[in-house]
Amino acid sequence: MKLEINKEYCIRCGLCEDLYPDLFKRNYEEHCIDVLYDEIPAELEERAKQAAEDCAVAMIKVIR
């Protein structure tokens, strides 16, 4: 399972990093949010799905 952020429409609110610092980190150089894992570890999959639901503008996509 992977997470992908649509960088064009992400509003950089930082909610994902605030709630899920184990999955996301703000990238100050590129003014975007990075997903910390290419492949989400099994133990974080439920949190990753929740993060996708919590994104204010639904720009975090779960890819199977």
Give the footprint of ligand SF4 on this chain (CB under 6 A): 5, 10-16, 33, 55-57, 59-60
- Give the shortest CB-42-to-ligand SF4 separation in angstroms: 22
18 versus 46: smaller Cβ distance to ligand SF4: 18
Q: What is the distance, to the nearest Å, from the Cα of residue 14 to the centroid of all Cα atoms in its chain? A: 10
- Give the shortest CB-54-to-ligand SF4 separation in angstroms: 7
- Give the shortest CB-12-to-ligand SF4 separation in angstroms: 5
Using DSSP's 3-state secondary structure scheme, residue 36 falls into: coil
33: which 2 tokens? 């949010």
Beta strand 60-63 pairing with 2-5? antiparallel
